[in-house]
Every structure is written in C-alpha cells, then in structure tokens.
Amino acid sequence: MRSINRRDFGFAVVAAALVPAGVGRADEQAVPLAIHIDNFVFAPAQLTVKVGQTVTWTNRDDIPHTVVCVGKFRSKTMDTDGTFSFTFTVPGDYRYFCSLHPHMTGMVKVE
Amino acid sequence: MSYHDYHEDGVSRRRVLECMTWAGTGVLWTVTGGVPRSLGLIGSAEAAEAAGMSFLQISDSHIGFDKPANPNAKGTLEEAIEKIRAMPAKPSFMIHTGDITHLSKASEFDDADRIISQAKLDVHYVPGEHDIIDEEVKLYKERYGRGTRGAGYYSFDAGGVHFVGLVNVVDLKGGGLGNLGNEQLEWLENDLKGRSKSTPIVLFAHIPLWTVYPQWGWGTEDGARALDYVKGFGSVTVLNGHIHQVMQKIEGNVTFHTARSTAFPQPAPGTAPSPGPMKVEDSRLRSLLGVASISFKQGDQRLAIIDTPLQG
C-alpha cells in the first residue's frame, strides 16, 4: 500500500504539462504569445516573452478556468473559448495557476 | 498527504491500511450502483419501521452547463428531483455537496432553487468551486450561507447524528489540492470536542477529503487534519461530490463515499486525458447520473449508502 506523495505529484504535473509544449503545434508557433488550455493543461507550460509583450490565454475546455499569478494578475473566470490577456512590463518569472483547479500550473518568463 | 500519517489503534488499524483500496496508479472502487433496484431507495416498510433516519445526497447539478456531455443539465436535475419525490418513504432532508451551478450566475442559482425546492425537503448545502466564481463572490453566501462561518461551513444535529458541512474550494494554492485552511480546521476541532464518541459523525464537503487522484486535483491538501479530529468516533461517514462518479472506501470506522452528479459523468481516475466532462452515448447518460440515499439505524455502526442512477 502506498499513496502518492507530493513529490511524485509535482513530477506528474510537470511531466503532464510538458508534453503538449514539446509537441509544438504549428498554429502555436505562428502565434507565440498565446497560451491555450486544453484538457486542464496550460500549453506551453512555460513561455518566454520580452518586456512589453502581451500574452493571451484561451480556454478550450468544456469547464471554466482562471489564470492567477499571486500579487500580479488574476483573470475573471473564463468559460469555454474565453480569453484573458496580460501585458508584462517587468522582467521576472511569473508562476501562475488556475484557482479552480490549482493542480494546473504554468510560468511566463519575462526577459 | 499520506494515510501513513494517521495513527490509531495499532494492529487492526494497520491491517485496515494494508487492505486499503490503493493499487497501482489509482484506487479500486466499489460501484454500488449495481445494487439491485429492488433494494432501491430506502422505500420499503422495513425502513419505515427501523428506528433511525434517512437523508439524501445530491451533487454537482451544474445548472448552466450545456456542452455535449449533457446539453440539458436542468432536465436531468428535474429527473433526479422527480425520483426523490416518488420515493415511498420521505427522507428527513437533503444535502447538496456543491457545484449547484456551472458559472455562479444568479439565473443559474434561481433555476437550481426552483427545481430543487420541488423535492419539498430541507436542503443543507456546501459550495463547489463552480459556485463561487461570480465577480464579487457573494451569491452563494447570500443564498445559502446564512448562519454559517467563513466561506460557508457549519454543523447541525439530526436523528442522533452530528453533521458537519465543510468548505474546501476556497483559497486554493498553486500546485495544490482542495483546502480547508487553519481557521476552519480549528473550528472543526472545537465543534467535535466534548461530543460523545458514540455519536455518529457525517462530514460532507465538495472535493473528496481523502486523496483520490492528486494528478487531477481530486483530494484535499489538509484533509488528513480533519480526519484526525474524527478518529476517536465510532462511526464516521465522509460524503463528497466533485468527481461525478461513485467511489467508496472503508478505512477502520470511516466510510468515504462520493456521489454521482446529476449533470454529467467524469472519467475514472487516469482513464482519460483530463477529468473534464465525459461524453457517453445518449442511451448511457442516465445510468451514470443519479442520487444517493443514506440511512442510519440506531445501533448500526455504519450508515447504509445506496446510489441510485437516474436510469438502469
């Protein structure tokens, strides 16, 4: 008997989140400042942008999601096809999550 | 969170732990929907004679949901309420374990109220994460939170059983699971303190209080603390929703049980790319939606739980 500990959980989340990013769909490459939510996963899980650039998240699930970066930004609830945009003006690592499904996490790196 | 962290009565406890339902990547679960319909909803003269009480659990009605997995969530809630109305023995009351609405819109709460009130039963609610996403996060509290603490937790007594409604869908942390928080846990500890250990306890909350499948967020970060406070009691029943399927685990004196949704099914842990709504053939949908009835007979340690699908 063994339950899943936090470390395994964290690893599983990261592993799951990386898969779609690695696949690199053509439309995402054409619009690099878009982050999509499919199957409860932010993709790409990590996105690097320049200061002043705007990132747009789009929810493509049948379930609402949010994008929350504690102390930095917080989207309204995005229903299916809902979007949220944020313009990054300060360099840094912005770790964010869905406040409804907090196992969904992602990061925007601003250079 | 690990069940290894709980300490209790030595050997028998350990044996129970060994027999626990974890296996491989998920849990083995008992589908009680296969119970012969003739045993049905607490109907029968037997239930009427027994010195005890019965109540109903409905969950995850998601009023406002209109996606392919069930374009008519209002209709299936109506069917569930119709089933409850048709029960030969009237239950004492009903609990709703959250996700009343899909998007916390006033009109969705209105529709849910209109339909659920047709059961003509008192309803004790706890919120799901879908019930607190209105801009000002006030509609749930306004409608269901009177006399409750924090984001809506409370306790009450009925038929010799002590019920505690908990909220584990607010203030969630990135990378984490459901969350009860210190304030609520301290309140719970006090609420249970001094109660006779022979009092049956029912804890109910939206997200499972035990760890079902953390990869999908199906568990409560600090649920172990809540379970610690009830460990001395002879009979503990933990009722949840959120995962839109029946799952049961018995561990020592504690029975964990999740109810079906009345809106749409979700996949078994790890069997799909995500925990999102599961589209099934129309003819199967109603066999995966339903309600639970729970009865307590004085002298019995465990509460009897019967899940009844809308159809089949």
CB-based contact A102 B174, cutoff 8 Å: yes
The answer to whether residue B20 neighbours chain A at the CB level (below 8 Å) is: yes
Q: Give the total number of structural domains in chain A.
A: 1
Query: What proportion of chain A, given as a percentage, has pLDDT over 90?
Result: 71
CA-nearest of A99, A98, A100, A91 to A108 is A91
Residue in A3, A40, A66 nearest the CB of B276:
A40
ipTM, two decimals, is 0.80
Residue A81 lies in a domain: yes
Residue A1 lies in a domain: no
Chain A residues inside the 8 Å CB shell of B276: 39-40, 61-63
| Beta-carbon-side half-sphere exposure of residue B31 (alpha carbons within 13 Å) | 11
CB-based contact B22 A3, cutoff 8 Å: yes
Q: What share of chain B is helix, strand, coil (3-state, %, to 5)?
A: 25, 25, 50
Residue A100 lies in a domain: yes
Chain B residues inside the 8 Å CB shell of A6: 1
Residue in B22, B214, B217 nearest the CB of A2:
B22
Mean pLDDT of chain A: 82
* pLDDT value at residue B15: 36
Could you give the residue ranges of the DSSP H alpha helices within B37-98?
45-49, 73-85
* pLDDT value at residue B19: 32
Residue A103 lies in a domain: yes
Residue A36 lies in a domain: yes
Q: Write the single-letter amino acid at B284.
A: R
Q: What is the domain range of residue A84?
A: 6-110
- Evaluate whether the domain defined by B3-309 bears CATH number 3.60.21.10: yes
The answer to whether residue B224 neighbours chain A at the CB level (below 8 Å) is: no
Residue A106 lies in a domain: yes
* Contact by Cβ (8 Å): B42, B284: no
CATH of the domain at A72: 2.60.40.420
* pLDDT value at residue B66: 97
* pLDDT value at residue B312: 81
Residue A27 or B210, more confident:
B210
Domain ranges of chain B: 3-309
Residue A15 lies in a domain: yes
The answer to whether residue B121 neighbours chain A at the CB level (below 8 Å) is: no
Q: Which DSSP helix (H) or strand (E) runs through A6? A: helix A6-23
In tens digits, chain B (312 residues) has pLDDT values of: 333 333 333 334 433 333 333 322 222 222 232 222 223 333 333 433 445 789 999 999 999 999 999 999 999 999 999 999 999 889 999 999 999 999 999 999 999 999 999 999 999 999 999 999 999 999 999 999 999 999 999 999 999 999 999 999 999 999 999 999 999 999 999 999 999 999 999 999 999 999 999 999 999 999 999 999 999 999 999 999 999 999 999 999 999 999 999 999 999 999 999 999 999 999 999 999 999 999 998 778 889 999 999 998
CB-based contact B175 A63, cutoff 8 Å: no
Mutate which of A59, A62, A76 to test chain B, going by most B C-beta atoms within 10 A?
A: A62
CA distance B35 to chain A (A): 28
Residue of A nearest to B133 (CA): A77
Residue A68 lies in a domain: yes
